[in-house]
Amino acid sequence: MEKQTLFYQAREAIVNADETKAFSMIKEASDANIDLLDLLLSGFGAGNQEIGDRFDKGTFSLPELMYAAEVMKNVTNEIMRLLNAAGAEMPSIEKGTVILATVEGDIHDIGKGIVASTLRSAGFDVIDLGCAVPVQTILDRAIEHNADIIGTSALLTSTLGEQRELEKLLAETGNKGRFMTMVGGAPCTPRWAKNIGADAYSEDAVEAVKVALQLMERKHRVKR
């Protein structure tokens, strides 16, 4: 099967919440030596994005979203398991702690879950707070775990403002310099990150690892 056809079927498996089909796509990709991380992001990830878009437009119900999200979660775990078992090369870093959360008012959790799995595979300690998390809770958990980085996801335009509220809260409480911040989500852009005062933006799970590594390097330079 051609790579793009495989990616299309992987996307459809998520949209249709067909876990059996999804796992067969993983096996087929593995047998054909297709990069499983590429399959996760470009195939299954595209399906994850589509179910989010449909839910936002009201053409996908909450139960449908939850069923598809569970399949996506299981697919992600299986692919990360296979990559770890194969000894996939990950960057060598000084371990850091990352707090991840989808902001208050937003129930999209799967994209952030992929980021969490990828960061863990790269050697980070990740505390995933889940979805619809108030900014005060995010800050409290970051302090509790002495985090290095706070990453927030907003998949709805209406919840983007929560990322700005977190930056304001960090500044007001004197914690702006203590934690590095990165933002992501479909409506986010590098310009948005700069406008609200976030330290970085990442488009997907692979870029999130690169960005987190850069933030840790910057933090260590400041300490030196």
Domain check: are 23 and 64 in the same one?
A: yes
Identify the top-confidence range among 57-71, 119-133, 176-190, 200-214. 176-190
Q: Write down the pLDDT at residue 93.
A: 44
Which range of residues forms the domain containing residue 20?
Answer: 3-85
The domain tally of the chain equals 2
Say what the pLDDT of residue 23 is.
96
Residues 124, 175 share a domain? yes
Query: How far is residue 41's CA from residue 43's CA, in Å, rounded to a whole number?
Result: 6
More confident: 63 or 121: 63
CATH number of the domain encompassing residue 50: 1.10.1240.10
pLDDT higher than 80, residue 19 = yes
At 224 the pLDDT is: 57
The answer to the question of residue 91 being in a domain is no
Q: What is the mean pLDDT of residues 204-219?
A: 86
| Domain limit, last residue, from 85, 117, 151 | 85
- Alpha carbon dihedral 87, 153, 42, 91, in 10-degree steps, equals -30
User: Do residues 115 and 183 both lie within one domain?
Assistant: yes
Q: What is the mean pLDDT of the chain?
A: 87
